[in-house]
Each structure stands twice: as structure tokens, then as C-alpha cells.
Amino acid sequence: MAALKIILTVLLVIAEVFLIVIVLLQPGKTAGISGSIAGGAETFFGKNKARSYEGKLQRWTKISAGAFIALNIILVLVNKLA
């Protein structure tokens, strides 16, 4: 049981670091006054947003956050059983 705790803890730390890096790589959403003036340009790029760099980062953020939550729950359950 101790080996399982160590493995889960290592996986949790890896997921934490990965989540932090992914969130820090994402660009800011604030465009300021230029975003309100040129807001119509986003509708063209909005169609292919899932294929863009930002879309991929958002997808990986969701996946890594889900893995982080799942690993935390599993680790708590393992600690309760031990």
C-alpha cells in the first residue's frame, strides 16, 4: 500500500506542475480598448479556434485539471483505506 501512495503522489506532483505550466502558457483575455474596436475580427478566427494554439492549450488545461482532481480523489480514498 505504501508503494501505491508513493506512485500516486509522484503522479499528482507531475499533474500539478503540468497544470501550472499549461495555465501560465495561456495568453491573457484582456484586449483593452482595441479589443472593443476590432471585436469583429474574432468572429472569423472563432471558427477554427479549436485547432489553434489557444484552443489546444484550453483543451489540455481541462484534461490536466480533470486528472489532477481524479488523482486527488484516488489518493484520499487510498489514504482512508490504509
Cβ atoms of 67 and 15 closer than 8 Å: yes
Average pLDDT over residues 32-55: 64
Give the rounded distance of the alpha carbon of 60 from its chain centre: 5
Please report which confidence band the pLDDT of residue 52 belongs to, taking 50, 70 and 90 as the band edges. Answer: confident
Counting Cβ atoms within 10 Å, is residue 15 exposed (0-12), middle (13-18) or buried (19+)? buried
From the list 61, 70, 68, 69, the residue with the least C-alpha distance to 23 is 61
pTM, to two decimals: 0.71
pLDDT of residue 41: 53
Q: What is the pLDDT of residues 20-39, one digit of tens each?
A: 999 999 887 765 566 556 55
